[in-house]
Amino acid sequence: MIRRTTILVAILAATCCSSAMAAGKARRPNIILFLSDDHGYHDSGVYGDPFVRTPNIDKLAAGSMRFTQAYAGSPLCVPSRCVIQSGRLPFSNGAHAFGTGMKADVKLMPEYFRELGYHTAHVGKWHHGNGRQPEYDFKHASDRKALEVLADHQRTKPLLLVICSHQPHLPWAKNEGYDPAKVKLPARAVDTPETRKCRTEYYTDVAQMDVFLGEVLQAVKTNGMENDTLLIYTSDQGANWPFAKWCVYQEGLRVPFLARWPGTIKPGTVTDAMVSFADILPTLIQAAGAPPPADIDGRGFLDVLTGKADKFRDCVFGSHTGYMGKDLPGINNHSPARTIITRDYQYILNLDSGRPFDTHITGCKPKSQYYVAFWDSWVEMARIDPAAKAIVDAYRQRPVEELYDLHADPNEKTNLADDPKNAELKESLSKRLAAWRKQQGDDVPLILPGR
């Protein structure tokens, strides 16, 4: 009798275990990562801009968890996208500059998810450097192919779909219905007619990207996938405006970030948990029911998404090296910098501050598709307006060290690095940044002015 009971218990346990495993597999969500291109943190209705038309972002936010402290690993497309794909920060994965690539032994997102039984697809902008490339089951350069992928998904496997929009990257669309007098300018901008005209074009490109996001959301719903899909919206880095893209300031690294997963993520919630793009991959792996890898920089924040935790990191790191390689000699976008961001302060180390800050914004000629007319108007205004001159000078000339109080000075206009009152704080953050650089294998030298 005892033996029969023991056998029966073993059978029941095995059955329960098998059922639990089957249920776990059945609960694996589809995963959609929608990545826009150069969309600034503040530039949507839900993030504080009342003029730009983003009804689909705003609607998605109503059903999502909205992050206020999500950070890209780099303010440039290739390094930023490689962080997402690898869960490793730029020097760790190898793609720390435009013109470098990921190391051959770095495991990437589609590999992890194929092992978990997912069908993997990537549509839209690629930009993963010159090294190791992610190998998706399906890949297409048109982001609009996302609608076909969703319509054709057979449900025999869960779906991992990465959608990389080409918008609102330059060249921006022609203005559609925006009044230049009413657009919201960035905090550090020179108010000229050219600035306002460019802003309407940027807004139009953002609005067109938002329309496409709406089409994706509708396709998810139409194809019966809404309730079993984890969908994330974010941008690769900040917008193509001064003090944003190519800069490790808040406007360059801080990004919009929305996560929707019906039945798991409470809709309409807001979190100030600090997360890095390196954390996206391990979090998605957690959502698929597997433990996140231990040998990467990122950590899974699934507990934040499910409401079990309201804090995550106490700091994030960011880096920008610029352009490298024979075909990319470093004439433009030479702005190497490293930063550590805590919940209260940001410390920045500019590695070549003796050289004028140079980006596509300052260097492109009028016939280039990347030319922005507002910059020349800023330079002209700076000749007669001290306030404009201060903004232009602040963009072109950087000190070796910068320190900002993110609560008192969220737009980072007042550098506290030389204030003796902050010497201890600056030294502490500087040491943490130096230790991180060493751990990452970051060997870009510090070139002091005059040397």
The pLDDT of residue 13:
40
Average pLDDT estimate for 331-346: 89
**What pLDDT digit, counting tens, does each position of 163-213 carry?**
999 999 999 999 999 999 999 999 999 999 999 999 999 999 999 999 999
**Mean pLDDT (the chain, rounded):** 92
Q: What are phi and psi of 22, to 5 degrees?
A: -65, -40
Sheet hosting strand 337-342, strand order edge to edge: 315-320, 337-342, 345-350, 401-405
Distances in Å between the alpha carbon of 34 and those of 70, 160, 401? 15, 11, 35
Average pLDDT estimate for 276-297: 98
Find the length of the chain: 451
Tell me whether strands 401-405 and 30-36 are parallel, antiparallel or unpaired: unpaired
Q: What are phi and psi of 273, to 5 degrees?
A: -60, 135
With the CA atoms of 429, 431, 436 and 438 taken in that order, what torsion angle do they form, in degrees rounded to the nearest 10?
A: 160
Q: Do 248 and 261 touch, CB atoms closer than 8 A?
A: no
Cis peptide leading into residue 168 (ω within 30°) = yes
Distance (Å, whole) CA 344 – CA 428:
14
The candidate with the shortest Cα–Cα distance to 347, out of 281, 416, 296, 290, is 416
Distance (Å, whole) CA 76 – CA 326:
19
The pLDDT of residue 132:
94
The pLDDT of residue 322:
85
Cis peptide leading into residue 242 (ω within 30°) = no
- What angle (nearest 5°) sits at the alpha carbon of residue 158, between those of residues 268 and 295? 80
Distance (Å, whole) CA 239 – CA 171:
12
Q: What are phi and psi of 283, to 5 degrees?
A: -70, -40
Residue with tokens 């984890």: 230
Q: What is the 3-state secondary structure (H, E, C) of 47-79?
A: CCCCCCCCHHHHHHHHCCEEEEEEECCCCCHHH
Is 197 exposed, middle or buried, given 0-12, 13-18 or 19+ CB atoms closer than 10 A?
Answer: middle
pLDDT band at 12 (very low <50, low <70, confident <90, very high): very low
> Over pLDDT 70: what percentage of the chain?
92
Distances in Å between the alpha carbon of 106 and those of 79, 200, 298, 327, 416? 14, 41, 14, 25, 39
Alpha helices (H) in 125-177, listed in sequence order = 145-152
**What pLDDT digit, counting tens, does each position of 207-231 carry?**
999 999 999 999 999 999 999 999 9
The pLDDT of residue 98:
85
The pLDDT of residue 358:
85
3-state helix, strand, coil in the chain (%, to 5): 35, 20, 45
- Which residues 6+ apart lie within 8 Å of 120 measured at CB? 109, 110, 113, 114, 136, 137, 138, 160, 161
pLDDT band at 328 (very low <50, low <70, confident <90, very high): very low
The pLDDT of residue 441:
96
Structural fold of domain 28-313: Alkaline Phosphatase, subunit A (3.40.720)
Per-domain boundaries in the chain: 28-313, 320-440
Q: Report the Cα 380 to chain-centroid distance in Å.
A: 33
Instruction: Look up residue 169 and give its DSSP letter.
Output: S
pLDDT band at 25 (very low <50, low <70, confident <90, very high): very low
pTM: 0.93
Structure-token pair, residue 332 = 């433009």
Distance (Å, whole) CA 230 – CA 219:
14
Distance (Å, whole) CA 75 – CA 88:
15
DSSP assignment string, 222-285: HTT-GGGEEEEEEESS--SSTTSTTS-SHHHHEEEEEEE-TTTSPTTEEE--BEEGGGHHHHHH
The pLDDT of residue 21:
36
Q: CB atoms < 10 A from the CB of 100, how many? A: 23
- Which residues 6+ apart lie within 8 Å of 238 measured at CB? 38, 40, 41, 72, 75, 244, 245, 247, 251, 252, 253, 254, 255
139 strand-pairing partners: 122
With the CA atoms of 161, 166, 169 and 172 taken in that order, what torsion angle do they form, in degrees rounded to the nearest 10?
A: -140
Q: Do 146 and 216 touch, CB atoms closer than 8 A?
A: yes
Q: CB atoms < 10 A from the CB of 135, how many? A: 13
357: part of which helix (H) or strand (E)? none
pLDDT band at 332 (very low <50, low <70, confident <90, very high): low
**What pLDDT digit, counting tens, does each position of 229-262 carry?**
999 999 999 999 999 999 999 999 999 999 999 9
- Higher pLDDT: 27 or 83? It is 83
The pLDDT of residue 451:
66
